[in-house]
């Protein structure tokens, strides 16, 4: 290339002789300039900007889920209590109907115009929808139109959340260094479960301090109204983040190709095209998401109902017993994410699947004892596999797809799986218990879904410490980049066939890096962490 020839010409004769006598390198050859050195401050901004969105999404899930019995008389005061509950549960389920549509739309848009822009858009819609729920008129003001507006608002919210998790996992995975992707990406799910716990805790505090009459009159609005200022703060942080380096490189390549009259037209990235091209990866992702979210939603969305309807706990204690388990589990998620960077994604996912099969029956037997200690222990045994499952989804799933279609494929796989299996888990478990009269049916259902999930883990390609498909390697420092280039022939984690080398690239007869002096010691670098 011109740059290398000019440098070679300016070198002493001996150095030029070394270059000219060296054997030609293979065409796909890494150089230091190919390797992305992660900007640690920007990585932390990206991580914080995405965590706030996930936290807000699950904050709303926790608030709405625990206010179902309170909001029934607000929107359908003339209906029976069972009808009120069914209406609110149906409204909650409506968000999952809209999620796949949002996932397809925002996934396509995110692969077209960029992750950062779409994630800012989804957060704005999501925060605004949650806030609007808090200012909706009740039945006394506009009659049945109040219920209709609630359903419409939740549909809009579900549409926006369809692009949230798929985009957040894609964004953080593309920002993170290859060796620590599991650790950084796991913070997204830590934020999710903390958001759920915060929402549930806030509702519990309001129920204790205000009482049920005040909650039905006006207190139920407060958690939703709080989403307004929280959303503004979250949007501020999200607007400060920049596009991921991997996708920015893809955008630059597309712009360069558009200016080249000899380049072929880019392949369309519509949903059908993405599914046809990546149906195997999408199917694997859907099975994994189904297995993990079945256990996750059983813990978060079904357990409070199970504790009150089957074990006789009052609604407040049914909520309070799950909160400490959720907080402890959320704090452990980054630890299992870091573990996956050490031993691999597949081993950690295997732990999640096998522990679900082994622990489900003992967990529900302990919960069935009816004592607080046994209930907490049983809930912790259900939370254990969730910790290993969800800490890996955010890093394993994006690694199934190339950069140019990663957001779109993730939007399809994740949201359809959550809509079909995650959101329906409470309903399916309750229906199984009612049909059989066996309180152990939840355990059997969790075991069955994790057994199927284990099949997908078997076919999953290990992605720990490897570059994402369609992306160049990402490292923490220039020293690590040099080391990676020097050892590329012996590194089993590098596959240059999956890297986006420019097809018009003609390798020089030698790499300038070969004659540049290496540093004797590793230079100071930013510590890895948040």
Query: In degrees, to the nearest 5, what angle opens at C-alpha 188 toward C-alphas 182 and 193?
Result: 120
In sequence order, what DSSP letters do the residues of 2-54 get, joined into one string?
A: HHHHHHHHTS-HHHHHHHHHSPPPPSS---GGGSEEP-HHHHHHHHHHHHHHH
**CA neighbor of 296 nearest in space, from 354, 352, 371:** 352
Per-residue pLDDT of the chain (530 residues; tens, 9 = 90+): 444 443 334 444 433 433 343 434 445 788 888 888 888 888 888 888 888 888 888 888 888 878 887 888 899 888 887 788 778 878 887 888 889 999 999 988 888 888 888 888 888 998 899 999 999 999 889 988 999 999 999 999 989 988 888 888 888 888 899 999 999 999 999 988 898 889 888 988 898 898 888 988 899 999 999 988 888 888 888 887 777 777 777 766 666 655 555 554 454 567 788 888 889 999 999 999 999 999 988 888 788 777 876 677 776 777 788 889 999 999 999 999 999 999 999 999 999 999 999 999 999 999 888 788 999 999 999 999 999 999 899 899 999 998 888 888 998 999 999 888 877 787 788 778 878 888 888 899 999 999 999 999 999 999 999 998 888 899 988 999 899 888 888 888 888 777 776 533 334 433 434 434 444 444 444 444 44
To the question of pTM greater than 0.95 for the whole model, the response is no
Can you say whether the dihedral through the CA atoms of 165, 286, 100, 389 is positive or negative? Answer: negative
Give the containing element (helix H, strand E) for 431: helix 425-436
Q: Is residue 474 classed as helix, strand or coil in its secondary structure?
A: strand
156 Cβ contact list (under 8 Å, min separation 6): 98, 125, 129
What are the extents of the domains in the chain?
36-243+279-459
Task: Indicate the burial class of 310 (C-beta count within 10 angstroms; 0-12, 13-18, 19 or more).
Answer: middle
For the chain, give the number of residues.
Answer: 530
pLDDT tens-digit readout, 60-102? 888 887 888 788 889 988 888 778 877 887 888 788 888 999 9
Q: Could you tell me if 460 and 346 are in contact, meaning their C-beta atoms sit under 8 angstroms apart? A: yes
Given the candidates 3.30.230.10, 1.20.1250.20, 2.130.10.10, 3.20.20.100, the CATH classification of the domain at 36-243+279-459 is 1.20.1250.20
Rounded CA gap, 213 and 160, in Å?
33
Record the tokens describing residue 308, joined without a space. Answer: 């009150």
106 Cβ contact list (under 8 Å, min separation 6): 118, 121, 122, 160, 162, 163, 166, 167, 407, 411
Q: Is residue 475 classed as helix, strand or coil in its secondary structure?
A: strand
- Rounded to the nearest 10°, the torsion over CA 58, 61, 66, 69 is 170
Q: Residue 475's beta-bridge partner residues?
A: 37
**CA neighbor of 117 nearest in space, from 235, 232, 231:** 235
68 Cβ contact list (under 8 Å, min separation 6): 85, 88, 89, 92
pLDDT tens-digit readout, 112-149? 888 888 888 888 998 899 999 999 999 889 988 999 99
Sheet strands (E) in 100-226? none
């Amino acid at each position: 290339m011109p740059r290398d020839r000019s440098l070679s010409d300016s070198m002493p004769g001996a150095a030029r002789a070394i270059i000219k006598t060296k054997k030609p390198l293979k065409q796909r050859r890494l150089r230091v300039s190919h390797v992305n050195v992660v900007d640690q401050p920007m990585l932390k901004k990206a991580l914080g900007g995405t965590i706030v969105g996930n936290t807000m999404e699950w904050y709303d899930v926790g608030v709405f889920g625990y206010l179902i019995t309170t909001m029934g008389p607000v929107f359908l005061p003339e209906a029976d209590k069972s009808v009120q509950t069914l209406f609110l549960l149906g409204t909650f389920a409506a968000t999952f109907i809209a999620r796949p549509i949002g996932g397809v739309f925002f996934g396509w848009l995110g692969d077209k115009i960029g992750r950062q822009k779409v994630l800012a858009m989804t957060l704005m819609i999501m925060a605004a929808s949650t806030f609007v729920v808090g200012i909706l008129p009740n039945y006394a003001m506009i009659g049945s139109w109040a219920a209709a507006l609630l359903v419409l608002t939740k549909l809009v919210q579900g549409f926006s959340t369809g692009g949230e998790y798929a985009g957040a996992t894609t964004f953080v995975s593309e920002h993170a260094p290859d060796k620590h992707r599991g650790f950084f990406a796991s913070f997204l799910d830590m934020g999710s479960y903390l958001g759920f716990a915060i929402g549930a805790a806030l509702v519990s505090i309001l129920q204790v301090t205000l009482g049920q009459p005040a909650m039905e009159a006006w207190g139920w609005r407060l958690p939703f109204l709080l989403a307004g200022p929280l959303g503004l703060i979250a949007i501020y942080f999200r607007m400060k983040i920049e596009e991921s380096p991997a996708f920015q490189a893809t955008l630059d390549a597309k712009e360069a190709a558009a200016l080249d009259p000899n380049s072929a037209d880019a392949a369309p990235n519509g949903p059908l095209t993405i599914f046809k091209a990546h149906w195997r990866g999408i199917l694997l992702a859907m099975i994994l998401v189904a297995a993990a979210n079945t256990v996750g939603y059983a813990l978060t969305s079904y357990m409070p109902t199970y504790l009150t309807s089957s074990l006789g706990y009052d609604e407040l204690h049914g909520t309070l017993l799950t909160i400490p388990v959720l907080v402890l589990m959320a704090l452990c998620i980054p630890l299992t994410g870091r573990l996956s960077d050490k031993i691999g994604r597949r081993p950690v996912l295997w732990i999640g699947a096998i522990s679900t099969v082994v622990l489900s029956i003992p967990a529900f037997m302990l919960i069935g004892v009816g004592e607080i200690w046994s209930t907490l222990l049983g809930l912790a045994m259900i939370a254990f596999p969730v910790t290993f499952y969800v800490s890996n989804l955010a890093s394993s799933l994006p690694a199934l797809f190339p950069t140019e279609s990663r957001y779109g494929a993730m939007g399809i796989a994740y949201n359809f799986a959550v809509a079909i299996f995650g959101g329906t888990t409470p309903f399916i478990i309750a229906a199984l218990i009612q049909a059989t009269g066996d309180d152990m049916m939840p355990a059997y259902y969790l075991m069955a879904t994790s057994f199927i999930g284990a099949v997908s883990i078997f076919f999953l390609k290990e992605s720990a410490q490897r570059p994402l498909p369609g992306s160049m390697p990402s490292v923490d420092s220039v020293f690590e980049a040099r080391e990676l280039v020097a050892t590329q022939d012996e590194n089993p984690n590098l596959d240059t066939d999956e890297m986006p080398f420019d097809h018009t690239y003609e390798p020089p007869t030698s790499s300038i890096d070969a004659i540049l002096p290496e540093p004797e010691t590793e230079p100071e670098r930013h510590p890895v962490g948040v």
